[in-house]
Structures are given as structure tokens and as C-alpha cells.
Amino acid sequence: MSKSLTNLTIKDIAKLSGVSKSTVSRVINHDPMVKESTRNKVMAIIEQYQFTPSKSARAMRGYGNKVIGIIVTRLDSISENHAVRSMLPIFYANGYDPIIIESQFSAPKVEEHLRMLKEKQADGVVVFAFTGLESSRLAFWRNKCVVIARPFPDYSCICYDDVGAVNKALTYLYQKEKHKKIGYIGITKQDQTTGELRYQAYTDFCHTHKIKPNAVLGKLSFYSGYELAESVLLDSPTAIVCATDSIALGLNKYLSEKNINNIVVISIGNSDLLNFLFTKTIIVDLGFDKAGTYAANELLQTLQSEVKAKIITVPSQIVN
């Protein structure tokens, strides 16, 4: 075998032992249902080649649970918190201890975190991607990683329905509610998904239906929605689409303070706080909870067997 001893994988051990990969995994995780003769054969090969990959080393030495790294962009993200919250019970139920780390939209920080997780012998990672993060930084984790929010070739990815969600919002306002003056508060186009894709969906819809565009773009924050409200209101819209729930919170606060109650607000993205404070807001639910569930299950399947990388788009829906 041409591989160095330190680069052997479970697949290599399985081949040398004459058993399946799943049997090797069961042996190193002390599955009592494995035949004693099979266990002895596999352990002999493991000892002969001094095989100690992350999961096996912990299991054979009798300490440490399996570990999953979850790299979020920011800890105060409503959408990412929803996704993480739905992941955790699945990981716990399957014996994994999650480690949650914040990247702060920094590609070097992601690389640093991934290096730390490698040193700690983590079994897999979930990465919330962002503009500026290239798939090459995740190369080591390609077969034990799930990416959320951006499609990376050759990686398992969970994406949101950015274009479809905006189209659902605009179709609802234009066709059902008969609005002709629809404003839009979004995020700068440097952000490729929440920013550029959602803004482009708005402008395309306006062009198709001969609606005069009325869009202002800023940051992803409550404050941006509040500060940009005055600008979008200059064109007297009867309805305003907000690219995120955070922006919708800021806009609603502005409208409330100015006693403006004749404008329909529709938010791309849902949050408990938005529902609690501004109950009249129309919501296009992007399925943050579903994204977390999909990501956790996809990662577990990837770790347990060789599965083909795929992109899953979470369906969006209007919630009144």
C-alpha cells in the first residue's frame, strides 16, 4: 500500500481486514454485536498499522464524545440561531457534542477555526457561508462538511430560496393585494445571496410588471432598516418588501414612531421578535429551522457512508 501509515483511512483498514467500512466503525466504537473473531481481526490490523484517526483514537482510548464543529457568521444572527437550534437535538441524539464558533464574516477566521477543529479531531463541520469565503478553504473537510447559505460545487449545501422568496412576496402584493407602488429595502450587492440575488429578483419583477423600482440598499441590521425608511418613503409606496427580518424590524419601528399605519410591510425571513412586536407584518418564511434539520441529517449521512454531494434548496412560503 503506497499510503503512509499516518494517512490510512477506515476504508484502508477495511480493505486490509477484509471487512466493510461500517464493520470497522462498529469495532472501533465497541459495538457489542460484532463477532469476537471479526473484532480480533480488525483490531490486529489497527494495531499493526498504528491506526489512530480522530474518531477511532477517542473511542479506543475510552474518552471524549464525537464532535461536530458549527461555524456561524455571528452569534446574534436570528436566522442562524434558528438553524442551529434545530440541529442540536439531532447531533445530541446521535452522540455528537457540537462546538459553536463565530466567524464574523472573516474567511481567515474560518480557516483558523477549521484548523483548530482539525487539531481537536472533530468528526465533521457545518459552515454558514458568506461572500468572500471560497470553497478552497474547506478542502480538508469536503467529505465531512455541510455548507449553509451558498452553493459550493462538490460540497453538500443547504441553500435558501432567495429569488423565489422575493417573487412570492411581490406576487402576493401585486396580484392579490393589487399594490402598484412597492418599495424595497435590501442589503448592498457585495453580499451575493441576501444582497444581490434578492435585489435582482426585485428589479426583475418590477421590469416584468412595469413597476417603477424604489429600492434602497444598506447593511444587514435593525438600524439599517430604520435609517433607510425615510428614503424609501419619499416615493410614497403602499407596500415595502424587506430583504430580511432584521430590516423589517427597523422599518416597522420607524413607521410606528411616525404613526404611519397605511403601509403594508412584508419580510423575507421570520423571527419570534418580529411576530411579537409587529403582528401585521406579512412573512415569507425561508425555513431556517428546516435548513438546520436538513444540514444535520445530511452531515450525519455523509459521516456514516459515502454520499454524493448535492445542493438542497429549502422551500419558502408566505405566512399571514
CATH of residue 40's domain is 1.10.260.40
Residue 185 pairs in a beta bridge with 216, 242
Indicate the residue among 61, 84, 109 that finishes a domain: 61
Q: For the residues 229-236, what does the mean pLDDT come to?
A: 97
Whether 151 and 215 map to the same domain: the answer is no
Percentage of residues in the chain having pLDDT higher than 90: 72
Task: Label residue 149 left, alpha or beta by phi (over 0 means left) and psi (-120 to 50 means alpha).
Answer: left
* Total residues found in the chain within this entry: 320
Of the candidate ranges 179-188, 232-241, 307-316, the one whose mean pLDDT is the lowest = 307-316
* Integer angstrom CA distances of residue 16 from 26, 37, 59: 16, 15, 20
CA–CA separation, 269 and 266 (whole Å): 9
pLDDT at 78: 85
Span 148-163, pLDDT tens digits: 999 999 999 999 999 9
Q: For the residues 82-103, what does the mean pLDDT come to?
A: 94
Q: Tell me which amino acid residue 125 is.
A: V
Whether 206 and 255 map to the same domain: the answer is yes
pLDDT at 39: 83
**Does some domain include residue 167?**
yes
User: Cell triple for residue 305?
Assistant: 457512508
pLDDT at 40: 86
Whether 21 and 77 map to the same domain: the answer is no
With a cut of 90, say whether residue 35 has pLDDT above it.
Answer: no
**Does some domain include residue 190?**
yes
**Does some domain include residue 320?**
no
pLDDT at 59: 45
Span 272-300, pLDDT tens digits: 899 999 999 999 999 999 999 999 999 99
With a cut of 90, say whether residue 55 has pLDDT above it.
Answer: no
- How many C-beta atoms surround the C-beta of residue 272 within 10 A? 10
- Going by pLDDT thresholds of 50, 70 and 90, the confidence category of residue 46 is confident
CA–CA separation, 129 and 112 (whole Å): 15
Whether 133 and 174 map to the same domain: the answer is no
Whether 135 and 197 map to the same domain: the answer is no
**Does some domain include residue 99?**
yes
**Does some domain include residue 208?**
yes
pLDDT at 288: 95
The 3-state secondary structure of 187-216, one letter per residue = ECCCCHHHHHHHHHHHHHHHHHCCCCCCEE
pLDDT at 29: 64
Span 172-187, pLDDT tens digits: 999 999 999 999 999 9
Domain that holds residue 275: 162-285
pLDDT at 306: 72
pLDDT at 103: 97
User: Cell triple for residue 148?
Assistant: 449553509
User: Cell triple for residue 59?
Assistant: 473511542
Whether 280 and 303 map to the same domain: the answer is no
Q: In total, how many domains does the chain have? A: 3
pLDDT at 115: 93
**Does some domain include residue 280?**
yes
Whether 167 and 239 map to the same domain: the answer is yes
Q: For the residues 113-140, what does the mean pLDDT come to?
A: 93
Cβ–Cβ < 8 Å for 114, 46: no
Instruction: Write down the mean pLDDT value for the chain.
Output: 90
pLDDT at 50: 73
Whether 281 and 167 map to the same domain: the answer is yes
pLDDT at 2: 44
If we measure between CA atoms, which residue out of 74, 160, 153 comes closest to residue 110?
74
Pairing of strands 317-319, 96-102: unpaired
**Does some domain include residue 319?**
no
User: Cell triple for residue 170?
Assistant: 411581490
pLDDT at 121: 86
- Going by pLDDT thresholds of 50, 70 and 90, the confidence category of residue 108 is very high
Residues near 245 by Cβ (< 8 Å), separated by ≥ 6? 78, 79, 267, 268, 269, 270, 271, 274, 283
pLDDT at 230: 97
- First-to-last alpha carbon distance for the chain, in angstroms, is 62
pLDDT at 60: 41
- How many C-beta atoms surround the C-beta of residue 242 within 10 A? 30
CATH of residue 214's domain is 3.40.50.2300
Residues near 33 by Cβ (< 8 Å), separated by ≥ 6? 26
State the number of CA atoms in the 13 A half-sphere of 122 facing the CB: 25
pLDDT at 32: 65
CA–CA separation, 209 and 243 (whole Å): 20
pLDDT at 61: 39
Whether 169 and 152 map to the same domain: the answer is no
Whether 136 and 49 map to the same domain: the answer is no
Characterize 180-219 residue by residue with b for buried, 16 or more Cβ atoms within 10 angstroms of its Cβ, and e for exposed: eebbbbbbeeebebbbbbbbebbeebbeeeebeebbbbbb
pLDDT at 163: 97
Whether 223 and 295 map to the same domain: the answer is no
Whether 91 and 112 map to the same domain: the answer is yes
CA–CA separation, 133 and 110 (whole Å): 8
- Going by pLDDT thresholds of 50, 70 and 90, the confidence category of residue 72 is very high
CA–CA separation, 55 and 270 (whole Å): 37
User: Cell triple for residue 64?
Assistant: 471524549
